[in-house]
Amino acid sequence: MPTEIDVVLPCLDEAAALPGVLTALPPGYRAIVVDNGSRDGSPEVAARHGARVVHEPRRGYGAAVHAGLEAADAEVVCVLDADGSFDPTELPALVAPVLAGTADLSVGRRRPVGAGVWPWHAR
């Protein structure tokens, strides 16, 4: 069983959200923030909060995720949005089936928690 899990966080101008996301990562989960051209100091904020920072000049979420996967060296790797829209404390539950050997891949999704919580274009 791995002792550390890498968490790839694609990032574009998320300086305000990064402290909360990075401090909420469970023990043993190592942040790899992939900066995709931020102009708000996101790389510096990430570094101050202990994240490894990777710079990806090719714009786009896919390019940032790919760069993060290339930088990761843990046996298990997660991808988490850097904007705080997912709760990092839920990562262990998401990873559990992979660590138990009952799944090769585990994927989370957003779920509405009440009527009208998502804007009309996201329903």
According to the model, what pLDDT value does residue 108 have? 86
pLDDT at 3: 74
Question: Where would I find the beta strands (DSSP E) of the chain?
Answer: 5-11, 29-35, 52-55, 76-79
pLDDT at 109: 80
CB 43 within 8 A of CB 68: no
Residue 50's pLDDT band, with cuts at 50, 70 and 90, is: very high
Q: Is the pLDDT of residue 17 over 60?
A: yes
Question: Is the pLDDT score of 123 beyond 80?
Answer: no
Q: What is the DSSP letter of 122?
A: G
Express each pLDDT in 93-104 by its tens digit.
999 999 999 999
Query: Which pTM value belongs to this model?
Result: 0.89
Is 84 a residue whose pLDDT tops 80?
Answer: yes
Q: Percent of the chain at pLDDT above 90?
A: 82
Please write the tens of the pLDDT for every residue from 52-61: 999 999 999 9
pLDDT, position 85: 86
Maximum C-alpha span of the chain: 43
Mean pLDDT of the chain: 91
d(CA 49, CA 111): 29
- Sorted by where each starts, the structural domains of the chain and their CATH numbers stand as 5-106 (3.90.550.10)
For the record, the structure tokens of 25 come out as 């990562």
